[in-house]
Chain A
Amino acid sequence: MVQPPRLVTVWCPEWPTVAAGIPPDQPAAIFRSNRVIACTPGAAAAGVQAGSRRRAAQGACPQLLILDHDPDRDARQFAPVVRAVAEMAPKLEVVEPGWLCLVARGPSRYFGGDQTMAERLLELVGEVAGASAGVGVADGRSASAIAARRAARHPSGVLVVPSGRSTEFVDPLPVAWLRELGEITPELVDLFARLGLRRLGQLSALDAGDVLARFGVEGLHAHRLAGGSDTRQPAATDPPPEWWVEHPFLEAVEHLEAVVFVAKRLADQLVANLSGEGRVCVRLVVIIETEYGERSERAWYRDQGLSAAAMVERVRWQLEGWAAQPDGLSGGVALIRLVPDEIRSDDGVQGGLWGGRSQADHDAARAIVRLSGIAGEQAVKVPVWAGGRLPVERYRWVPASSVDLEHRSDRLDHGDGPWPGALPAPAPTIVPEQPVPTMLLDEAGQQVQVSGRGEVSAAPALIVIGSERQRVDAWAGPWPIEQRWWSSDRSRRLARFQVVTEHGVAHLVGVEQQRWSILATYS
Chain B
Amino acid sequence: MPLLPNAGLQRGRVVGCTGPAAMSLALTLASRSVVVGSWLAVVGIPMLGAEATAEFGIPLSRLVVVDAVGGPTVWAERVAAAADGFEIVMTRPPAGAERVLRKVRTRLQARGVVLIAVGPTSAGVSCDLELTTTSVAWGGLGQGSGHLIARRATVSASGRRMPRPVELDLWLPAPDGQVSLVATDDRKGVRHLSVTGDVFSRAG
Is A348 in contact with chain B by the CB < 8 A criterion? no
> A91 to nearest B CB, angstroms?
40
Which of A395, A477, A523 contacts B24 (CB under 8 A)? A523
- Asked whether A380 lies within 8 Å of B48 as measured between CB atoms, the reply is no
CB B25 to nearest CB in A, in angstroms, measures: 9
Q: Is the CB of B81 within 8 A of A498?
A: no
- Please report the C-alpha to C-alpha distance between residue A430 and residue B68 in the assembled complex, in whole angstroms: 16
A residues within 8 A CB of B46? Answer: 433
A394 to B41, CA, bound (A): 20
Docked Cα-Cα span, A23 to B132, in Å, equals 88
Closest Cβ of chain A: how far from B33's Cβ, in Å?
10
- A395–B47 CA distance with the chains assembled, in angstroms: 11
23 pairs of residues in contact across A and B, judged by CB atoms under 8 Å: A358-B37, A360-B37, A360-B39, A367-B81, A368-B85, A370-B84, A371-B64, A371-B66, A383-B60, A412-B60, A416-B204, A426-B150, A427-B55, A429-B48, A429-B53, A456-B144, A476-B147, A504-B135, A505-B136, A522-B148, A523-B20, A523-B21, A523-B120
CB distance from B16 to the nearest CB of A (A): 15
Q: Is the interface of B mostly helix, strand, loop or mixed?
A: mixed
Among B63, B136, B141, B204, point to the contact of A383 (Cβ < 8 A). Answer: B63
What is the CB-to-nearest-CB distance from B88 to chain A, in angstroms, rounded to a whole number? 10
A residues bordering B, Cβ < 8 Å? Answer: 358, 360-361, 363-368, 370-371, 374-375, 378-383, 391, 394-395, 397, 400, 405, 408, 412-414, 416-433, 456, 459, 474-477, 498, 500, 503-506, 520, 522-523
Q: Does the CB pair A428–B49 fall under 8 Å?
A: yes
Please provide the chain B residues from 12 to 48 with a CB less than 8 Å away from any CB of chain A in the complex.
20-24, 27, 37-39, 41, 46-48
CA distance A474 to B47 in the complex (A): 24
* Number of residues from B at the complex interface, CB < 8 A: 62
Q: Which residues of A contact B150 (CB under 8 A)?
A: 426
Beta-carbon contacts under 8 Å, B153-179 to A: 153, 173, 177
B141 close to A394 (CB less than 8 A)? no
Which of A391, A418, A432 is in CB contact (< 8 Å) with B204? A418
Q: What residue of chain A has the Cβ atom nearest to residue B173's Cβ?
A: A426
Minimum CB–CB distance for A89 against chain B, Å = 45
Partner of A474, one of B39, B59, B138: B138
Instruction: State A364–B111 Cα separation when bound (angstroms).
Output: 13
Instruction: Verify B61–A428 contact, CB threshold 8 A.
Output: no
With A367-B82, A423-B203 in contact, do A412 and B61 touch (Cβ < 8 Å)? yes
Using Cβ atoms and an 8 Å threshold, which residues of chain B touch A520?
Answer: 49
B184 at the interface (CB under 8 A from A): no
B3 interface residue, CB < 8 Å from A? no
If A412-B54, A426-B177 are given as contacts, then 12 extra A-B residue pairs at C-beta distance below 8 Å, sorted by A number, are A363-B39, A363-B86, A380-B64, A383-B50, A394-B51, A421-B203, A422-B203, A423-B147, A432-B47, A459-B144, A506-B138, A506-B151
Contact of B84 among A366, A420, A477 (CB under 8 A): A366
User: Which of B24, B66, B147, B148 contacts A429, CB < 8 Å?
Assistant: B24
> Cβ of B47 and Cβ of A413 under 8 Å apart?
no
Residues of A within 8 A of B136 (CB): 503-505
- Is the Cβ of A360 less than 8 Å from the Cβ of B20? no
Contact of B147 among A394, A395, A433, A498 (CB under 8 A): A498
* CB pair A382 B64 closer than 8 Å: yes
- Closest CB in chain B relative to A400 CB, distance in Å: 6
The answer to whether A364 touches B85, judged by C-beta atoms less than 8 angstroms apart, is yes
Interchain CB contact under 8 A, B49 and A368: no
The CA of A380 and the CA of B64, in the complex, are separated in Å by: 7
| CA distance in complex: A504, B22 (Å) | 12
Kindly state the separation between the CA atoms of A210 and B143 in the bound complex, as whole angstroms.
78
**A contact residues around B147 at 8 Å (CB):** 423-424, 476, 498
Q: Return the chain A residue nearest B74 by Cβ.
A: A375
User: Given A364-B62, A420-B203, are A476 and B84 also a contact pair (CB < 8 Å)?
Assistant: no
Q: Is the CB of B66 within 8 A of A380?
A: yes
- Residues 130-150 of B, flagged 1 when their CB comes within 8 A of A and 0 if not, give 000001111001111111111
Contact at A374–B63, with CB atoms within 8 Å?
Answer: no
Name the residue of chain B whose CB is nearest to the CB of A361. B39
The reply to whether B49 and A431 contact each other, CB–CB distance below 8 Å, is: yes
CB within 8 Å of A: which B168-195 residues: 173, 177
B4 at the interface (CB under 8 A from A): no
On whether the beta carbons of B49 and A419 are closer than 8 Å, the reply is no
Which of B41, B60, B135: most chain A Cβ within 10 A? B60
Is there contact, CB below 8 Å, between A424 and B77?
A: no
Cα A461 to Cα B192 with chains together (Å):
21
Q: Say whether B146 contacts A476, CB under 8 Å.
A: yes
A287 CB to closest chain B CB (Å) equals 31
